[in-house]
Amino acid sequence: SLRCGIVGLPNVGKSTLFNALSDAGADAANFPFCTIDPNIGVVPVPDKRLDNLYEIVGSEEKIPTSVEFVDIAGLVKGASEGKGKGNAFLSHIREVDLIVHVVRCFDDENVIHVEGDVNPTRDVHIIEDELILKDLESVEKRLESLKRDAKSGEKEDLKRMEVVQRLKEHLENGNAARTFDAKEEEQQAYRELFLLSDKPVLYACNVSEDDLDSGNQWVDEVQEIADRFNDEVVTFCAKIEEEIAELDEDEKQAFLEELGVESGGLERLIRAAYKELGLITYFTTGPKETRAWTVRKGAKAPEAAGVIHSDFERGFIRAETVSYKKYKELGSEKAVKNAGEMRQEGKDYVVQDGDVMLFRFNV
């Protein structure tokens, strides 16, 4: 499943958020909660469409998709040089699909700020710089080994070296790797470096309860930073998330309404993560189970089928498809068919968010 790494300076609310997320995961009935590693929490993705579809069809089981959150603590100033917990967590970052960067956007004199005061721009750059410095180390190492290899004078090696050299300068100027402009033929040399500052980032602004619906000037600051690379921003209140995690569904809705927000932080966080990564959800449904699946936006029907099983992709014939909206409106599969709304789609069909799909395939 999708793996998100939570980073941020000390005392910004990472653990509070992580614990709230883990509780939400642990509370979900019949969900294989991961207890092996205390720093990893598996959370079912909340999706009202899945809930409704499950009700309409009356399936035995409802199976959401899941997201994994990894608590990557200890990223402090000087971490790239081994300060704090040192380099261990940097390798954790290498394994995630998305970095969730928690930024302190609340004022509370009882909670010490490691840098003295609330200043999101400075904080974000401290973390980003550590990642860039670590990347610079990787790039310099690669450059050395390329220099050794290049003695043979292979044209390929020289080209590689040129790319890596340019990347080094890019990083030295304080730029994240993901703003590096690698040409088509340079992609390989770039990708094999597995750089940390290449990862997509979702900024999670931890605000006080009062600022939850309105935001504040610190959130605006983070938004400005995020806009550089078209990154997503969510506002949440870690303290509130902690409280929400304890409530049942009805209590939760009432509480959120009182706060003036539509959905809990977890839901907004995951929605933003999907958006940042260009992911969508489609559904399969039947008497046995109603289930949500995650697929890349722009994926064609066979690729979506492949998410379920590689055989489905290999033997793909066609997909019977209807949008969730239509399905809900008409109320049953039979009604969908009677209304002539069940579409037969071939291998070039681009799957849409919320599609309800049935795959026909050869084995």
Instruction: Let me know: does 102 contact 16? Beta carbons within 8 Å.
Output: no
- CB closer to ligand GDP out of 73 and 189: 73
Instruction: Let me know: does 107 contact 118? Beta carbons within 8 Å.
Output: yes
Q: How far apart are CA 238 and CA 242, in angstroms?
A: 6
- CB closer to ligand GDP out of 87 and 208: 208
Strand partners, 345: 319
- CB closer to ligand GDP out of 168 and 239: 239
Q: How far apart are CA 22 and CA 200, in angstroms?
A: 23
Length, in residues, of the chain: 363
According to the 3-state scheme, what is the secondary structure of 62-97? EECCEEEEEECCCCCCCHHHCCCCCCHHHHHHHCCC
Taking CB under 6 A as the criterion, the residue among 2, 4, 12, 225 binding ligand GDP is 12
12 annotated as ligand-binding: yes
Q: Of 251-270, which residues contact ligand GDP (CB under 6 A)? A: none
Q: What is the CA radius of gyration of the chain?
A: 23
- CB closer to ligand GDP out of 7 and 305: 7
179 annotated as ligand-binding: no
Of 304, 296, 303, which is closest to residue 275 (Cα–Cα)? Answer: 296
Token digits of residue 15: 């653990």
Q: How far apart are CA 201 and CA 6, in angstroms?
A: 10
Token digits of residue 321: 């498809």
* Contact range with ligand GDP by CB under 6 A, out of 194-202, 235-243, 253-261, 266-274: 235-243
Number of residues that bind ligand GDP (CB under 6 A): 16
Strand partners, 280: 295
User: At closest approach, how far in Å is the CB of 243 from ligand GDP?
Assistant: 11
52 annotated as ligand-binding: no
170 scored as a contact of ligand GDP (CB under 6 A):
no
* Contact range with ligand GDP by CB under 6 A, out of 5-13, 31-39, 311-319, 334-342: 5-13
Instruction: Let me know: does 52 contact 328? Beta carbons within 8 Å.
Output: yes
- CB closer to ligand GDP out of 172 and 246: 246
User: At closest approach, how far in Å is the CB of 108 from ligand GDP?
Assistant: 4
39 annotated as ligand-binding: no
239 scored as a contact of ligand GDP (CB under 6 A):
yes
Of 189, 9, 213, which is closest to residue 116 (Cα–Cα)? Answer: 9
Token digits of residue 72: 């990557």
16 scored as a contact of ligand GDP (CB under 6 A):
yes
3: helix, strand or coil? strand
* Contact range with ligand GDP by CB under 6 A, out of 153-161, 187-195, 231-239, 320-328: 231-239
* Contact range with ligand GDP by CB under 6 A, out of 14-22, 273-281, 300-308, 314-322: 14-22
215 scored as a contact of ligand GDP (CB under 6 A):
no
- Written as one letter, the residue type at 94 is R
- CB closer to ligand GDP out of 54 and 106: 106
39 scored as a contact of ligand GDP (CB under 6 A):
no
Binding residue positions: 11-16
In the complex, the residues that contact ligand GDP under the rule CB under 6 A are 8, 10-16, 106, 108, 111, 206, 208, 237-239
Binding residue positions for ATP: 11-16
